[in-house]
């Protein structure tokens, strides 16, 4: 059964990853999820169902369009395999449990936000809303209703903290310092991690973003750095190692 679940969650990740790829590249452009049907970017030929099987189609067609033989973009197969690996990892690390489901939600967000924020500087609302609702019900199911409501409260707290930091940043830098998407995403920090761990994750996200921000500034003279991928990575990492982060914070606060 163990190996069955390993294969099952990897494949589930690949299939959902394929869907996330479509969501993250179409919704920011206000395109529909179903129309137009998936097609080759080069020859516009609509793809048949057997050309849309995650990972497999790409491998069978050797990474080329069946009609015009143009090389296919590797972005989609990368998204599919990464999601598959993240889902497999969640199962190996947690077995099927509360933490497993939270980890599945957070790794889905990592994929979605990486693609949409890096490509279009947009964090979509719908995945955030679906995640917030799912986390609420998971807390209710695995703990109790008061725990679920408490996590909503902690979510609001981290949301308004980020909102205030954003406002202060706007005044200091005289331009928008934090995007609306970043602030909405920070609701999930408090909800999923609790307020103390949420702050640890905020700090970690700035450390993760700094090298990239400096590289952008010096190499391309670009001041617009998408912060979402770093925020959501920090959220996932702190959740994964929450015990270790708790220990560090305990030491820190007891000095």
H helix intervals, 121-227: 125-142, 145-173, 180-193, 195-219
48 touches Zn ion (CB under 5 A): no
3-class DSSP assignment, residue 60:
helix
246 touches Zn ion (CB under 5 A): no
Q: Show contacts with Zn ion in window 157-186 (CB under 5 A).
A: none
Closest approach, Cβ 22 to Zn ion, in A, equals 18
43 touches Zn ion (CB under 5 A): yes
65 touches Zn ion (CB under 5 A): yes
Closest approach, Cβ 74 to Zn ion, in A, equals 15
Residue 65 or 225: the one with the smaller Cβ distance to Zn ion is 65
92 touches Zn ion (CB under 5 A): no
Residue 69 or 167: the one with the smaller Cβ distance to Zn ion is 69
Residue 66 vs residues 44, 52, 124, 132, 205: alpha-carbon distances, Å: 12, 12, 32, 41, 42
Closest approach, Cβ 60 to Zn ion, in A, equals 15
HSE-up (13 A, CA, CB side) for residue 53:
7
31 touches Zn ion (CB under 5 A): no
Binding residue (CB under 5 A) for Zn ion from 31, 42, 95, 176: 42
Closest approach, Cβ 55 to Zn ion, in A, equals 19
Sort 255 into a burial class: Cβ within 10 Å, 0-12 / 13-18 / 19+. Answer: exposed
Look at phi and psi of residue 39 and say left if phi exceeds 0, alpha if psi is from -120 to 50, else beta: beta
248 touches Zn ion (CB under 5 A): no
Q: What is the C-alpha to C-alpha distance for residues 87 and 20, in angstroms, rounded to an integer?
A: 14
Residue 49 or 253: the one with the smaller Cβ distance to Zn ion is 49
68 touches Zn ion (CB under 5 A): yes
Q: Which of 168, 91, 101 is nearest to 131 (CA)?
A: 101
Binding residue (CB under 5 A) for Zn ion from 12, 15, 40, 165: 40
Q: What is the C-alpha to C-alpha distance for residues 184 and 173, in angstroms, rounded to an integer?
A: 21
Positions touching Zn ion (CB under 5 A) are: 40, 42-43, 65, 67-68
């Amino acid at each position: 059964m163990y190996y069955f679940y390993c294969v099952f969650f990897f494949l589930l990740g690949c299939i959902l990853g394929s869907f996330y790829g479509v969501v993250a590249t179409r919704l920011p452009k206000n395109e529909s999820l179903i129309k137009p049907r998936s097609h080759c970017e080069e020859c516009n030929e609509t793809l048949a169902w057997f050309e849309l099987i995650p990972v497999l189609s790409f491998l069978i067609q050797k990474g080329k369009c069946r009609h015009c033989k143009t090389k296919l973009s590797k972005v989609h197969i990368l998204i599919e395999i990464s999601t598959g690996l993240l889902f497999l990892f969640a199962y190996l690390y947690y077995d099927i449990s509360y933490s497993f489901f939270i980890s599945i939600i957070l790794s889905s967000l990592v994929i979605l936000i990486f693609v949409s924020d890096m490509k279009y500087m947009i964090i979509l609302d719908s995945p955030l809303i679906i995640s917030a609702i799912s986390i609420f019900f998971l807390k209710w199911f695995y703990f109790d209703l008061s725990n679920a409501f408490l996590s909503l409260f902690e979510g609001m707290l981290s949301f308004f903290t980020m909102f205030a930091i954003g406002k202060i940043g706007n005044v200091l830098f005289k331009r928008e310092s934090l995007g609306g998407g970043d602030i909405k995403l920070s609701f999930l920090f408090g909800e999923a991690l609790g307020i103390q761990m949420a702050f640890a994750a905020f700090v970690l996200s700035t450390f993760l973003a700094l090298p990239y921000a400096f590289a952008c500034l010096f190499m391309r003279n670009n001041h617009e750095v998408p912060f979402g991928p770093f925020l959501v990575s920090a959220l996932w990492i702190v959740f994964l190692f929450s015990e270790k982060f708790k220990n560090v914070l305990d030491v820190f606060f007891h000095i």
